[in-house]
Structure 1
Amino acid sequence: MIRFNLTCEKDHVFDSWFASGAAYDALKAAGHVACPVCGSTAVEKALMAPAVAVSRKEEAPLRGADTPVEQAIAALKKQIEENSEYVGMNFAAEARRIHQGDAPERAIHGETRLEEAKKLMEEGVPVAPLPFLPARKTN
């Protein structure tokens, strides 16, 4: 089986599965390949990226924390979660309060929008992005 990205004369883009490239050619020549949107049989193959299968051996290092970088990130995450308070979406407000002396100084981590993080940096609040999602967002 092979999947082709297809386009019709009206620029509708769709995909379809065929038994082989030759099967596509035969069906197209017989007028049996039609656009599902407009019904046109003036259909051509569209540019598509090839699907490359990865062997299990090549795929394994990408799962879990098998690579040194993944192990380092996992260790960093554990250390941050054990030694700081998760403040969730209140991160920006709490970081400002700590910076201004309105809240007790302590290590915190949480979430904020990129624009808000930039504002914190412009204000001189020491913040840094973390290379992982909070535990509550992982499945």
Structure 2
Amino acid sequence: MTSTNTAMTPERIVGDLIDAAAPDGEQMLQVGQVAKVLGVTDRAVLYLLQDNRLGYIRTGKRGYRIPRPLLAEYLLQGFIPRQLTAAEQLLAETRQAVKEATDKLAALAARIAAAEATLALVDGTDAIPHRGRSTQTVP
């Protein structure tokens, strides 16, 4: 449970994720620890390292260590765009709903105008009389 002092910011969430994989405060994480943080396999982490999408320090011929700040930076780069993508999706859905509602209103207005025209023809008048209070005085 979080208090008002510890707001769940993206930085805090990322820090908690990394702390779960390296609880003793290690500054250099192994490939397996990074895989645990990201929820992927060790091989997927190695692909990230090979593609230079995640910074690392080489330790020997096949050894890698990922500095905690570089992992946090990588996670934060993906955190904000995902939220933005979700917000853009919601905005697109809302715009679509507004467009559909506007189209329904336009169709309803057309039906009302057609009904008024039909009533005017049946009554023999040019327009539907106003149904408000009369401004004429009765003698």
TM bucket normalised to smaller: under 0.3
> Which protein shows a greater Rg?
2
TM-score by length of 2: 0.24
Higher RCO (C-alpha 8 Å, min separation 6): 2
TM-score by length of 1: 0.24
